[in-house]
Chains A and B, each alone.
Chain A
Amino acid sequence: MSYRVLIVDDSAILRLSIKRAVLQTGVKEDDVFQAGNGQEALEALAKQSVDLVLLDLNMPVMNGHEFVKACSQHPTLKNQAIVVVTTEGNQKRIQEIKALGVRGVLRKPFEPEDLRQYVGDLVGGKS
């Protein structure tokens, strides 16, 4: 069984790069969705539930922080699994990101193995 992933990043190039890594974990192409900012992500989630959101933080219109907050206040999205994808490597800043309530932080660039580990933990090891 595949799982559904929403990739949220304002860079179309990076969304594609992340998508390739996601596909390498065994996710079917039809189960990968994309959004260019937090607002688009909320609109996508209103139409289609996903198992995991891979989220950039610095985006126009609605950034990652605002998106996480919006999810936490939403009746059906408050338990949405979100993993932030970032170039940030500073331990203190990573802890601040985690304090937003996200499930984890992946540093760019990440390997499919890094993502597979998260997915296994977050979606109960669907196979």
Chain B
Amino acid sequence: MNGIEQAQLTDGVTNILEKMAFVLCEDAEEPRWDNDDYQEHVYLTLQGGGEHAAVLLSADQPFLVELASSILGVMPDDLGAEQAGMALLELGNVVAGEVVQILGGAFVEYDLSLPKAIAATDLGSLPGSLGAAECRSCVESDDGYLRVLVAAIS
């Protein structure tokens, strides 16, 4: 899979978080790449232009709380049980759309799957060489970390 670099992915993710959720993030000084560092995962696939790829977003609980409470404008203690997960699903949809644009989606038609919440135990069985992702980004906010992996599906 060609056409996406870490800097592009990181810039896209931080831009989205700022505009969509008013959460300021930056490239993590000490990135966390292990699945065990994250509690919630959202998976999407994209297909077009001869490419078939997977996008995986993984967030730790502090990041999720910060994301959801910022979008909803509520205090973390007032978050509903499902709201943090829903916020990550929506973020996944927008991030995948940005990945499509980076890959040339303005001029090549891509189809995006719906975002799907994935249990940590199912990560190993996902299509896509996510363990050796083509492109990966880890950003940190005030409270937590978000990891984004993009990998080709053979």
Contact = CB atoms under 8 A, between A and B. Distances in A.
Contacts of B100: 89
B87 A13 contact: yes
Interface of chain B: mostly helix, strand, loop or mixed: helix
B45 to A, nearest CB: 15
A90 B101 CA distance: 8
Contacts of A87: 93-94, 96-97, 112
Interface residues of B, number: 27
B109 A17 contact: no
B97 A88 contact: yes
Interface residues of A, number: 20
Nearest to A111: B19
Given A108-B97, A109-B16, A110-B19, A90 B108 contact: yes
Interface of B: 15-16, 19-22, 68, 71-73, 83, 86-87, 90, 93-94, 96-97, 100-101, 105-110, 112
